[in-house]
């Protein structure tokens, strides 16, 4: 007998994220120049940037801790009280170390285990690109053994958050152009449409260069983040880097292992990003992964929820549009805005990042199908989805994301290539479509930037552990498989469930326990380790 489930007890998890550090946090100094030569990809700088002493101080005052609203997602005050902040100074251009510098914002939670069991520092990158890891450290993460063994250190990569965060005046104009070109059949877009897109992309890139200076913008790519990371490793006093990277943070870690293999100790890369394809190809594969992830949710609904409107995951491709149309007929108002069926599809996509939402989504669409849309639970979840997709913080990191992604990859200049990519996404992901793929056209006209290696193997590095979720919508599992094939010393751990990343959440002991042991002792997990889905 299938049961109807909403899991209302988890509603307390709803709330805002990404709240900033208080006045006790770091000041960031950013100054840029232009015209310096581009260094080789493997260049790095010795003293004076190596050998730094970081001046750590509390991130928060007691008044700030007292003002935190933990229930609204503002952070966990007891944990936050232990956080220390500092700044690392690095050159904007590693080819001109006597030039301008940027302050890299840091946050640290010191290890609490016995001195004899401590292993130094563990650096973490929560991904993005564009996400502030410093702000993300307001809540506990990773397991107790790892917390006891390592100082947990987060940093905001150059151009992100408190490390000179990029904010471009041309963002809104670029968004308006995307809103103009995205609707409708991509095959029907004319040469004039594409020309207008290209002109808007060029203007957007110029506005970003004006915001921080062309030299700094050209140095925001991952190759320089990796160089910064090695300066940080040295400043922390570690001979070898111990690192956990999520999502885009896996690109940082993998490239570090290739550029600095003799300084690599242990790397866990969860939610693996393929470093080789163009941004347009990646975007197509992401849309396809969202489609696959939604089919997994629908299959779960069909198996576990009485009255579920989906008969199977595969059938959901045809069954979901009718539900979106039903929602569109009513068009409820949320936060003073009318919400359409098309917007609901975008809202659902944001929920696929977290596997714990599966039961909520199943309950929501079951109620929608039965016309039972007046309950408080239905309304609260609708509001939560809206805030995640369209709230004030939904796109706050878009400029830094674009700058890094465009710097890191070889992208076509021909705008017709992006139209073809949108067509491919429409075909492969009919529920979520190809509209987001148009955004990658910004890279067709992006200012010149230093690009690191893309199809590297890190063959001289010690064992690297990759983690991939079979149903990850944001970093498709195939990316983990491709990087596993490319990175010579890698081991791939597979989680059979969905959601975006899994390690260190206390969700799967099958994943967490061997990875904790690897980070602490260096013992590598068994090859081919596969962990079953655990739906809470």
* Least confidently predicted of 27-31, 297-301, 323-327, 447-451: 27-31
Average pLDDT over residues 208-227: 97
pLDDT confidence of residue 43: 52
User: Of all residues in the chain, what percent carry a pLDDT higher than 90?
Assistant: 88
Residue 257: pLDDT above 70? yes
Residues for the chain: how many in total?
536
Residue 10: pLDDT above 90? no
pLDDT confidence of residue 329: 96
Identify which has the larger pLDDT, 232 or 7: 232
d(CA 59, CA 484): 38
Residue 470: pLDDT above 70? yes
d(CA 423, CA 417): 10
Kindly report the three-state secondary structure assignment for every residue of 446-475: CCCCCCCCCCCCCCCCCCEEEEEEEECCCC
Find the distance separating the first CA and the last CA of the chain, reported in whole Å. 19
Task: Kindly state the tokens that stand for 481.
Answer: 């498989």
d(CA 95, CA 90): 12
d(CA 534, CA 536): 6
Structure confidence at residue 46 as a pLDDT band (50, 70, 90)? low
Kindly report the three-state secondary structure assignment for every residue of 479-527: HHHHHHHHCCCEEEEEEEEECCCCCCCCCCHHHHHHHHHHHHHCCCCCC
Residue 64 makes CB contacts below 8 A (sequence gap 6+) with: 22, 23, 24
Could you give the dihedral angle defined by the CA atoms of residues 69, 71, 77 and 78, in that order, rounded to the nearest 10 degrees? Answer: 160
Q: Are 294 and 279 in contact (CB under 8 A)?
A: no
* Host H or E run for residue 254: helix 248-259
d(CA 358, CA 413): 40
pTM above 0.85, yes or no: yes
Structure confidence at residue 204 as a pLDDT band (50, 70, 90)? very high
Residue 352 makes CB contacts below 8 A (sequence gap 6+) with: 290, 293, 294, 297, 473, 498, 499, 500
Task: Kindly state the tokens that stand for 284.
Answer: 């197509």
Considering only the C-alpha atoms of the chain, give the largest distance between any 2 of them, rounded to a whole number of Å: 71
Q: What is the DSSP code (8-state) at residue 95?
A: T
pLDDT confidence of residue 420: 98
Question: Distances in Å between the alpha carbon of 433 and those of 177, 226, 480?
Answer: 18, 34, 23
Enumerate the domain spans of the chain.
107-165+221-278+453-531, 167-219+289-408+412-445
Q: Are 471 and 283 in contact (CB under 8 A)?
A: no
Cα–Cα–Cα angle for 31, 32, 33, rounded to 5 degrees: 140
pLDDT confidence of residue 11: 29
Task: Kindly state the tokens that stand for 164.
Answer: 């000179």
d(CA 216, CA 39): 14
Task: Kindly state the tokens that stand for 163.
Answer: 């490390």
Residue 38: pLDDT above 80? no
Structure confidence at residue 53 as a pLDDT band (50, 70, 90)? very high
Helix axes 341-351, 358-370, angle to 10 degrees: 160
Question: Distances in Å between the alpha carbon of 204 and those of 143, 217, 402?
Answer: 42, 12, 10
Tens-place pLDDT, residues 170-199: 999 999 999 999 999 999 999 999 999 999
Tens-place pLDDT, residues 431-452: 999 999 999 999 999 999 999 9
Nearest to 118 by CA among 242, 286, 248, 217: 242
Cis status of the peptide bond prior to 129, with omega within 30 of 0: yes
Q: Are 283 and 425 in contact (CB under 8 A)?
A: yes
Structure confidence at residue 102 as a pLDDT band (50, 70, 90)? very high
Structure confidence at residue 535 as a pLDDT band (50, 70, 90)? confident
pLDDT confidence of residue 73: 83
Tens-place pLDDT, residues 476-485: 999 999 999 9
Q: Are 486 and 455 in contact (CB under 8 A)?
A: yes
d(CA 44, CA 56): 25
Nearest to 493 by CA among 519, 473, 463, 468: 468
Structure confidence at residue 47 as a pLDDT band (50, 70, 90)? low
Residue 142 makes CB contacts below 8 A (sequence gap 6+) with: 122, 124, 152, 244, 504, 516
Which CATH homologous superfamily contains domain 107-165+221-278+453-531? Alpha/Beta hydrolase fold, catalytic domain (3.40.50.1820)
Structure confidence at residue 18 as a pLDDT band (50, 70, 90)? very low
Q: Backbone phi, then psi, for 22, in 5-degree steps?
A: -85, -165
Residue 200 makes CB contacts below 8 A (sequence gap 6+) with: 173, 174, 177
Q: Please state, rounded to an integer, the average pLDDT across all residues of the chain.
A: 90
Q: What is the DSSP code (8-state) at residue 103?
A: E
Nearest to 77 by CA among 94, 60, 92, 91: 60
Alpha helices in 260-340 (DSSP H): 279-304, 316-330
């Amino acid at each position: 007998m299938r049961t109807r489930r909403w899991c209302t007890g988890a509603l307390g998890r709803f709330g805002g994220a990404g709240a900033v550090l208080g006045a006790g946090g770091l000041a960031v100094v950013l100054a840029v120049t232009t015209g310096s030569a581009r260094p080789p990809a493997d260049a790095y700088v010795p003293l004076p940037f190596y050998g730094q002493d970081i001046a750590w101080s509390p991130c928060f005052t007691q008044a700030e801790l007292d003002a935190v609203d933990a229930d609204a997602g503002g952070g966990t005050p007891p944990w936050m009280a232990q956080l220390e902040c500092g700044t690392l100074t690095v050159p904007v251009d590693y080819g001109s170390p006597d030039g301008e510098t940027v302050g890299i914002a840091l946050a640290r939670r010191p290890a609490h285990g016995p001195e004899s069991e401590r292993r130094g520092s563990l650096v973490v990158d929560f991904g993005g690109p564009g996400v502030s890891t410093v702000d993300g450290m307001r809540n506990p993460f990773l397991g107790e053994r790892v917390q006891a063994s390592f100082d947990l250190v987060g940093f905001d990569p150059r151009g992100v958050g408190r490390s000179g965060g990029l904010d471009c005046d041309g963002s809104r104009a670029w968004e308006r152009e995307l809103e103009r070109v995205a609707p409708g059949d991509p095959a029907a877009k004319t040469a004039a449409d594409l020309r207008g897109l290209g002109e808007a992309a060029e203007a957007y890139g110029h506005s970003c260069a004006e915001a921080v200076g062309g030299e700094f913008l050209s140095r925001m790519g991952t190759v320089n983040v990796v160089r910064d990371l090695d300066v940080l490793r040295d400043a922390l006093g570690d001979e070898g880097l111990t690192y956990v990277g999520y999502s885009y943070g896996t690109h940082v870690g993998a490239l570090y292992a290739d550029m600095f293999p003799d300084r690599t100790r242990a790397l866990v890369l969860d939610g693996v990003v393929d470093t080789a394809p163009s941004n347009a190809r990646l975007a197509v594969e992401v849309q396809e992964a969202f489609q696959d992830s939604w089919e997994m949710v629908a299959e779960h609904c069909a198996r576990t929820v009485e009255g579920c409107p989906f008969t199977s995951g595969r059938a959901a491709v045809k069954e979901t549009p009718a539900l979106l149309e039903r929602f569109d007929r009513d068009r409820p108002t949320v936060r003073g805005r009318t919400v359409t069926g098309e917007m609901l599809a975008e809202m659902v996509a944001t929920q696929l990042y977290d596997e714990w939402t599966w039961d909520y989504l199943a309950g929501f669409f079951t109620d929608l199908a039965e016309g039972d849309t007046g309950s408080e639970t239905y309304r609260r979840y609708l509001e939560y989805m809206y805030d995640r997709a369209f709230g004030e913080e939904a796109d706050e990191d878009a400029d830094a994301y674009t700058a890094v992604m465009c710097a890191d990859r070889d992208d076509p200049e021909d705008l017709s290539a992006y139209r073809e990519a949108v067509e491919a996404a429409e075909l492969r992901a009919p529920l979520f479509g190809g509209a987001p793929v148009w955004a990658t056209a910004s890279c067709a006209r992006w200012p010149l930037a230093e690009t690191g290696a893309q199809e590297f193997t890190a063959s001289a590095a010690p064992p690297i552990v990759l983690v991939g979720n079979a149903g990850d919508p944001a970093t498709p599992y195939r990316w983990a498989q491709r990087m596993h094939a490319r990175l010579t010393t890698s081991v791939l751990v597979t989680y059979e469930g969905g959601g975006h990343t899994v390690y260190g959440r206390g969700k799967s002991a099958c994943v967490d326990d061997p990875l904790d042991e690897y980070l602490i002792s260096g013992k590598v997990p068994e090859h081919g380790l596969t962990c079953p889905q655990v739906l809470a």
